[in-house]
Amino acid sequence: MSITLFRYSKGEAISSHDSTGDAMVLVLKGTGQFNVEGSEYILSAVETLIMPA
């Protein structure tokens, strides 16, 4: 298991990518928009999203 902390500025984005393992996103502050297998999710602070490998 590994835990990675990312911090993004307002309007910043990362490109789509694949992963060999499942991932969990926890939004600590603000909101985040995530696209997983064609479905869009908008999360607010303290919400989580599980993304399959």
Q: In angstroms, rounded to a whole number, what is the distance separating the alpha carbons of residues 36 and 40?
A: 6
What pTM was computed for the model? Answer: 0.77
Report the pLDDT value the prediction gives residue 50, as an integer from 0 to 100. 92
* Per-residue pLDDT of the chain in tens (53 residues, 90 and over written 9): 788 888 999 899 988 888 888 999 999 999 999 999 899 999 999 999 999 88
Residue 31 token pair: 């909101």
- Kindly provide the residue ranges of all beta strands, DSSP E only, lying in 1-53, ordered along the sequence: 23-26, 31-36, 39-44, 48-51
Show me where the domains of the chain are located.
20-53
Contacts 24+ apart (CB under 8 A), 24-33: 24/48, 24/49, 24/50, 24/51, 25/49, 25/51, 32/8
